[in-house]
Amino acid sequence: MNAAPGRLSSAFAFALLTGLALAPFLGLGAIAARAQSAPDYKALLNTPDRSPADLKADQRRDPIPFLTFAGVRPGMKVLDMAAGGGYSTELMARAVAPNGTVYGQNPPDASEKMKTAFEARLKTPAMKDAVADVRPFDDPIPPGVQNLDLITFLFFYHDTAYMKVDRAEMDRKMFAALKPGGYLVIADHSALPGQGLTVVKTLHRIEEATLRKEVEAAGFKFVAEGNFWRNPADTHDFVTYKPVMPVDNFVLKFQKPM
């Protein structure tokens, strides 16, 4: 039933008052970002300005399920950990446009090939909403950046386990940089139960339970698992960058409590 002229309906009044009450805590930008609907990820992948190399990588990486699971939306502030050459950073930059920002993190000692690839990508129109974040893994947040909506960490957490990285500090810094209710989404290559960190360098795999325990120790709450990159047939005994079959990959979503 329509409200009487000059009066707010009780539902509308509640929504308005709730929004105004939350604004000082969440920020108007965060409220707007939350209200945005998800973009058409398939259309983003099919834009004509994407490179042939990225189109080829799509066939191997199958990014749409991940983008959907992560919930990347226009207006978001995102940190892409271990951005590498920027393949995933660019996809997220396209998804957060307009008015969003993606920080692509790589360590200062990244390979010259990786640096060159990211710098070249950064000059393209698709990366207008992306920022290079050259910082160590255990101190990855650019000065002044806070209240991130999302952090992604794709297929590199295991590498930090054999590098000179304080992973507990890394996880704490990521936790602190997220807004309350923000998400951390990690994808990595599965090791067998009981292997823990023992094959992080030899096979480039990590046990899911070990990673989850480390992340939860920083205060994150596990909220969901994505099975779209799983392969139960994986024998888990070969190096992941020289696959003899599709690799069994897990994807975990964590949230910073409200």
For each successive 10 residues of the chain (258 residues), what is the average pLDDT? 35 36 42 66 96 96 97 98 98 96 97 96 96 98 97 98 98 98 98 98 98 98 98 98 97 97
| Whether 236 and 142 share a structural domain | yes
Give me the number of domains the chain comprises.
Answer: 2
> Does residue 2 fall inside a structural domain?
no
pLDDT at 24: 42
For residue 111, what pLDDT is reported? 94
Domain that holds residue 121: 38-255
- Residue 225, strand partner residues: 252
Task: Specify whether 29 is located in the same domain as 123.
Answer: no
18 and 109 part of one domain: no
Between the two ends of the chain, the Cα-to-Cα distance in Å is 35
Q: Tokens 């480390």 — which residue?
A: 214
Does 190 map to a domain? yes
Q: What is the CATH number of the domain that holds 97?
A: 3.40.50.150
Query: Is there a single domain that holds both residue 29 and residue 103?
Result: no
- State whether 72 and 24 are in the same domain: no
Residues 119 and 201 in one domain: yes
CA distances from 182 to 78, 114, 135, 198, 254 (A): 10, 28, 21, 31, 9
Q: Give the predicted TM-score (pTM) of the model.
A: 0.86
Same domain? For 200 and 250 the reply is: yes
Residue 251 lies in a domain: yes
Residues 52 and 81 in one domain: yes
Map residue 202 onto helix, strand or coil.
Answer: coil
